[in-house]
Amino acid sequence: MSQAPEVSRGPVVTPVRVVIGLCLVAPFVAMLWVGSYAKTDPAFIGIPFFYWYQMAWVLISTALTMIAYKLWQRDQRARREGGAK
């Protein structure tokens, strides 16, 4: 008799993938929680808090997306090398 084919179990949740998800979700949560930044003080070099907070998140989001991408690449590389053995 032939053996039953190996069944794919779908996506695997690992700590690295949880970190990737958090990196990608954090900017959305920060921007959707308007009550946390809908104010004018403290001002930064004359710019009200509302505006500089959002501009800071542009840079933070870029960094978090880059981190998530690098972690994803490393995770995929590890899966390929682990599956080839």
Q: Is residue 26 part of a domain?
A: no
The band of 4, judged by pLDDT with boundaries at 50, 70 and 90, is low
Q: Is residue 19 part of a domain?
A: no
- What's the first-to-final CA gap in the chain, in angstroms? 26
Q: Is residue 35 part of a domain?
A: no
Q: What is the pLDDT of residue 61?
A: 97
Q: Is residue 2 part of a domain?
A: no
Residues whose CB falls within 8 Å of the CB of residue 38, separated by 6 or more in sequence, listed in order:
50
- Total tally of structural domains belonging to the chain: 1
What the block records as the tokens of 7 is 């069944």
Average pLDDT rounded to a whole number, residues 40-64: 92
Q: Is residue 28 part of a domain?
A: no
For residue 5, pLDDT over 90 is answered with no
In DSSP notation, 29-75 reads HHHH-GGGT-S-PSPBTTB-HHHHHHHHHHHHHHHHHHHHHHHHHHH
Q: What is the pLDDT of residues 13-40, one digit of tens each?
A: 889 999 999 999 999 999 999 888 888 8
Which residue in this structure is represented by tokens 């509302």? 50
**d(C-alpha 15, C-alpha 76), whole Å:** 14
Q: What is the pLDDT of residue 26?
A: 95
Question: pTM for the whole thing?
Answer: 0.77
For residue 7, pLDDT over 70 is answered with no
Domain of residue 53 covers: 48-84
